[in-house]
Amino acid sequence: MAQTSSIEWTQTTWNPVVGCRKVSDGCTHCYAERMAKRLAAIARAREATGQSAGRTGNYTKVVNDRGRWNGQVFLDHGALDDPPSWRLPRVIFVNSMSDLFHEDVPLSFIQDVFDVMHRCPQHTFQILTKRPAITARYSPQLRWPPNAWMGTSIESAEFVHRANDLRRCGARIKFLSVEPLLGPIPRLPLSGIDWVIVGGESGPGARPMQPEWARQIRDRCRSRNVAFFFKQWGGVNNNATGRELDGRMWSELPTPELACAV
């Protein structure tokens, strides 16, 4: 089951794993947790009327009765059959509702996900983690396909060390998701990095992003020839704040052939 995504830098989400555990400041207002709460409620309502919840029922296993992550992950083996069934090329965000490199996801399952990516050279797979140390540790035991991009989230200067772990993995394309940007990062590490996404926090309780923080990263990317993508200003009403930074849209990608795709 695929979901067409409204995320500006991808096309489709694919979730062979659901469920997570918060690990840093960027997780405070987790959009995936809010979505999981809604999906779990939908699943329970269907089941209460005798209907099948389908894969939506997976979310009842990973949130508690308050709609918060319960710390568990669910491995959806059936989802491994999805990408091979999509004949036309897609740009696919892997695990928008979890983290493939969560502590409780076994290496064997990650290897299964990588095997799927190998079997689907028509697609581009974008993997994003807040646990790049695990990615680096497992990297020698993974077959990295050329169509797999690996990224890590860095929300403030406190977490720039994640870029060092990311560089140790075998992905051909490596990227940083600096979202939500919660403070200035004047020395964002860009050595070995191909792409940087910057965005403010959105949704209830969104913490504001200062324009100078975004400009600082944009200028650093431009001076080092790293593709820069400005995703959003954020805020409670994300649509109202838009995507323009200094009067233009920044939608650079690490590979020009994907420019039209996303």
The two tokens of residue 142 are 């993974």
C-alpha 91/C-alpha 172 separation (Å) is 16
Give ∠ CA 154-11-61 in degrees, rounded to 5.
Answer: 70
pLDDT at residue 259 in the model: 63
C-alpha 53/C-alpha 43 separation (Å) is 5
pLDDT at residue 235 in the model: 85
pTM to 2 decimal places = 0.95
pLDDT per position as a tens digit, 202-259: 989 999 999 999 999 999 999 999 999 999 999 887 776 889 999 999 999 998 677 6
pLDDT at residue 88 in the model: 96
Average pLDDT over residues 45-60: 97
> Mind listing the domains of the chain with CATH numbers?
3-20+73-258 (3.20.20), 31-68 (no CATH)
C-beta contacts of 208-216 below 8 A and 24+ residues apart? 208/234, 208/235, 209/180, 209/181, 209/182, 209/233, 209/234, 210/184, 211/245, 212/184, 213/181, 213/183, 213/184, 213/185, 214/181, 214/245, 215/245, 215/246, 216/184, 216/185, 216/186
pLDDT per position as a tens digit, 68-77: 999 999 999 9
pLDDT at residue 257 in the model: 72
C-alpha 10/C-alpha 6 separation (Å) is 8
